[in-house]
Structure 1
Amino acid sequence: MSNTGKSIVKEISEWVILIIIAFVIASIVQSELFALTEVNMQSMMDTLEPGDKLIMNKLAYTFNEPQRGDIIIFLRDEPVNGVLGRASIYISDICKKLKKDFRRNRLIKRVIGIPGDTIEIVDNVLYVNGVEQHEPYARIDPYEKIVLNRSMPKVTVKEGELFVMGDNRGHSADSRDFGVIKQSWVEGKAIFRIAPISKFGKIK
């Protein structure tokens, strides 16, 4: 190959490398702000349904604490701390996607209790700090309410913890089953639904 040919190949290679680096940096920056996630389970019906595509705000809790009623995405047993932590998760996700093994243990639940709260369930009725909660978003099938008749002794949420539940109470594994979660596991807050188009809009 002539010197001219080698020069062209070298220049093209450099451009390709620069484009790849720019893409990776842009992707990491984007992943640090917002991310697209998909609902895969029935635990948040009727608020969210399998196949719904959501925008997650990853900076929602940078300066603020999760509040009761927030719908959060979290990674069980995986702390999400700082840029390096998020970048590590992002790169891991890419690798798993390339391997067609993209089932990271992400869960979507609603925050029920924040630090200092006392949570109790009596005959399927939720009490927070001794006050009965009226939950228009909760889906409790009348038949399941009779059959399951779930109760749970008082749990006090400690600093750095959250008590979470799925809206579809009869079909959700949540803090009633695996206990409180750590705030460090929270990846972000679900803020917007982009698909299906018929449900396009802010998540409540």
Structure 2
Amino acid sequence: MFMQQFCSVNVIAYYSSNIFDAGFSNYQAPLASWGFGMLNRLFAFPAVWTIDTFGRHSLLLTTFPLMEIFLLMTGFSFYIPKGKTQVAVVAVGIYLYTMAYSPGEGSVPFAYSAEAYPLYVRDVGMSFSTTMLWLLPTATSSRSPSRASAPVRCIQRVLSGVRRVEHMYFVAILLFVPVTKALSLEKLDQVFSVPTR
């Protein structure tokens, strides 16, 4: 849940209208922002079909590098001279980022959280995980620029955070997140009872 909130998606979600204001009209910017939300919803469906086929671990390890590439593409697009090309690259970068986020980091943490806790405390554990999920956006949004800030500053703040944490997330998933593909609840308890060290 921590990684889901600190992978920069909330900054894009909260400030997407500002980001799109860089080249869209007052009417087009909210519409482009709506496109971000719709893609986020639509691309959660592939996770439903692939989470047990490819596995949670593989989805996370695949989508994190893609998210970073597409966010870097978005950030560097602000160095393109203002015009239709810049607007197109910003929109494509954010949309591709969303398409990578939704089936991986957007959906998988909920499945992992439900599996990680032993059956006798699963209800309390999921309550704690969900609480953390909704408390963490407060931290990410409070560190983000105000609505009056330029889109370039917004993306640069996002990029500075991504550079610091995306690589750590990838390594943490690779080393400490167990593979739970096609395991029963009883076997999951055995997998998560083994210390990660």
- Between the two structures, name the one with larger relative contact order (CA 8 Å, sep ≥ 6): 2
Q: Under TM normalisation by the shorter chain, which class is it?
A: under 0.3
Query: Rg larger in 1 or in 2?
Result: 1
**Structure number having the greater helix percentage:** 2
**Structure number having the greater strand percentage:** 1
Normalising to structure 1: TM-score of the pair?
Answer: 0.23
